[in-house]
Amino acid sequence: MTVAVLTGIAFVLVLGVMVGAARPRRSRGASDFYVAARAVPPWWNGAAITSEFTSAAACLGTAGLIATHGSPMLWYPAGAAAGFVVILALVVAPLRRSGTYTLPDFAEWRLRSARLRRFTTCFVLVVGLAFLVAQLHAAGVVVRLLTGLPPWLGWAGVAGAALAVALAGGLGSVTSVQAAQFWLKLAVFVGVGAVCWWTVGTPLVPGPDGWFAGAYRSGGTGLAGVGDPSLPGVLSVLVACALGTMGLPHVIVRVYTSRDGPGARRSIVATQVLLALFCVVPPLYGVLGHVHVRGAAADEIVLLLPARMLSGAVGEVLTGLLAAGAFAAFLATSGGVLVAVGGAVSACVSRAGVRSFRTAVAAVMLAALALTALSSPGVSVALVLLGFSLSAATFCPMLVLGIWWPRLTDVGVAAGFVTGGGVTAALVVAEQAGVKMGALTSCPAPVAVPLSFAAMVVTSLVTPGRVPQVVGRMMARMHLPEHLAGPPAYRSSRDDDRWS
């Protein structure tokens, strides 16, 4: 089995680096380097977005939660679909017209505050590191579980490949790798699952006394409410995913990789379609894992499934294919997050440029590796959902109010960040310290998001003098059709476009 697993992992990583390095060079400057020259077709862009969104949590963790906690976990993938509906309705068109393709860029342009830009960059870094550490830990679990080798080999493989792709051509290289690997992941996970299903003949739906009968039962929870099958727990995860998706740095930057506004909207629609295709994977492996892999940890169930169901060479080959598909997921998500966070950090700490971008990308990955070494494995889903919760409690209110409410101020946004981020952190720490207050501590998003909105609104109303004088012009630019608002100016790409 070790040979099959290592062969599959090596194939995916080498293929990813080759695809990224072979991408045609169309970038004319730092702006094109950051956003793939704004020349990605909608369906190719949608495949890339779906690929980076279906991370370790979707491929391994969610299926394991379905296997161990039952049918309530089937709602977890629905939160992602709802998040893209919110993005399409509220964010895509206005944000693209603003000409700011990172969250710190938007904060500085909309609120006229360089300090707020730096504050926003700190939160972008925290959310990005949560996603990166989740991918690295999951890669370590795959290597340790299937080969017996040290987990750091998995971290090094994903980190090295993601860095090579990101440094080679920025978001253009990452997009090529992500879009190609989406179809690889889909074929591998659906194909292996179908072979296991038809070979053993697992019934499609268990009987009335089966594992679906325990829907919405009470149970233990993990970080940020992970694995809570109660109705409040499931709803809290849906809220975090639906509202947190719009604030993920690696999703927001995709608004600008299309040629124009209609192309950006079609990219989000394509993402929803492709995400719906991939959503068959967690239930498929969840049912199979519940029947055939009992007693294993949630993030190990999918990996152990082929060997438990099919002995001999067939099981080993299928396990190697699953390992390859899992590493394709890790690489796709890591590359997208790395480029988005590295771009935000480089534009904040130094003059925008390809050299500073590459330096920031390397620094972000080193930080992620250090945090991975200091934290415990087996928390991939928890870290991803924690990133969603923090994004929902900070970036979601800033984007919604910044786009649709002209009276928002920089002080109001800062107050909302402190309130939403602080409440999320406090409730998570209280839960881990053993303070039990039911859904209030295990599920922070439904509590932190309204408080963050309230803090931004109230603080902005009491600081009317902080409203930018040209807010009317900015609101018109975001909401008028593109041909009436004037040609787009990508303000984060040139020093003279900065609003500080």
Q: What band does 439 get if pLDDT is binned at 50, 70 and 90? A: low
Q: Confidence class of residue 452 from pLDDT cuts 50, 70 and 90?
A: very high
145 close to 133: Cβ distance less than 8 angstroms:
no
Any idea which of 77-86, 269-278, 437-446, 471-480 has the lowest mean pLDDT? Answer: 437-446
- Does the pLDDT value for residue 304 go beyond 60? yes
pLDDT at 202: 53
Q: Pick the residue with more confidence: 299 or 120? A: 120
Q: What pLDDT, on a 0 to 100 scale, did the predictor assign at position 486? A: 53
Q: Is 36 left (phi over 0), alpha (psi -120 to 50) or beta?
A: left
Say if residue 88's pLDDT is above 90: no
Query: Is residue 24's pLDDT more than 80?
Result: no
Q: Is the pLDDT of residue 466 over 90?
A: yes
Q: Which residues contact 106 (CB under 8 A, 6 or more apart)?
A: 95, 98, 100, 398, 399, 402
Domains of the chain: residue spans and CATH: 2-202+222-378 (1.20.1730.10)
Q: What is the pTM of this model?
A: 0.87
Q: Which has the higher per-residue pLDDT, 434 or 168?
A: 168
The length of the chain in residues reads 500
Q: What is the pLDDT of residue 267?
A: 87
What is the per-residue pLDDT for 369?
A: 95
Q: What is the mean pLDDT of the chain?
A: 82
10-19, 70-79, 102-111: segment of lowest average pLDDT:
70-79
Q: Is the per-residue pLDDT at 211 higher than 70?
A: no
Nearest-5° Cα angle at 24, 20 to 26: 115
Confidence of residue 465 (pLDDT cuts 50, 70, 90): very high
324 vs 59: which has the higher pLDDT: 324
DSSP classification of residue 230: S
CA distance 209 to 206: 8
Locate tokens 């890790």: which residue?
A: 330
Q: Is residue 442 predicted with pLDDT exceeding 80?
A: no
20-24, 164-168, 200-204, 267-271: least confidently modelled range: 200-204
Contact 228, 68 (CB under 8 A): no
**Cα separation, 257 vs 171, whole angstroms:** 9
Q: What is the 3-state secondary structure (H, E, C) of 130-199?
A: HHHHHHHHHHHHHHHHHHCCCCHHHHHHHHHHHHHHHHHHHHHHHHHHHHHHHHHHHHHHHHHHHHHHHH
300 pLDDT more than 90: no
More confident residue, 459 or 44: 459
The more confident residue out of 295 and 458 is 458
pLDDT for the residue 208: 38
Band of pLDDT at residue 218, cut at 50, 70 and 90:
very low
Question: How far is the C-alpha of 307 from the C-alpha of 259, rounded, in Å?
Answer: 46
- As a whole number, mean pLDDT of residues 100-104 equals 84
pLDDT band at 496 (very low <50, low <70, confident <90, very high): very low
More confident residue, 97 or 457: 457
What is the distance between the alpha carbons of residues 416 and 300, in angstroms, rounded to a whole number?
A: 38
Q: How far apart are CA 308 and CA 54, in angstroms?
A: 25
Q: Is the pLDDT of residue 493 over 50?
A: no
Distance of alpha carbon 19 from alpha carbon 44, whole angstroms: 14
pLDDT at 226: 64
Residue 45: per-residue pLDDT: 85
Sign of CA dihedral 394, 348, 49, 279: negative
